[in-house]
Amino acid sequence: MKQKFGYCDPRLVCELVRIYGTSFYGSTLWNLNSKEHEQLNRSWNTAIKIIFDLPFGCHTRFVESLTDLPHLQSVLHSRYAGFVKNLNNSNKIHIKMLLGIC
């Protein structure tokens, strides 16, 4: 995105990344403590730093205040919490039973 739209405002580039690069279908079932999840977070952090031309030593959590785009880890945790809430609110007994087992 930066290569194609580098002349645009970084907030617009972040919005394009959000639209075209953050579907993460099925992410509610991912292991959020896995090595792959950590790699995805590092890739996200690197992309944000590149978009805003920040030094690589900069803490990426500060970028949330520069744009309306939340940090990827916040998005994934929020999706997981919403998924569990929906399971808990289900009127199907088998789903509630499975939720109790996990």
Instruction: Give the integer Cα–Cα distance in Å for 48 and 5.
Output: 14
What pLDDT is recorded for position 34? Answer: 92
What pLDDT is recorded for position 76? Answer: 92
CB neighbour list of residue 45: distance below 8 Å, 6 or more residues apart: 60
Instruction: Tell me the pLDDT tens digit for each residue of 16-75.
Output: 888 888 888 888 888 889 999 999 988 888 888 888 888 888 876 676 777 777 888 888
Identify the CA nearest to 47 among candidates 1, 95, 90, 96: 1
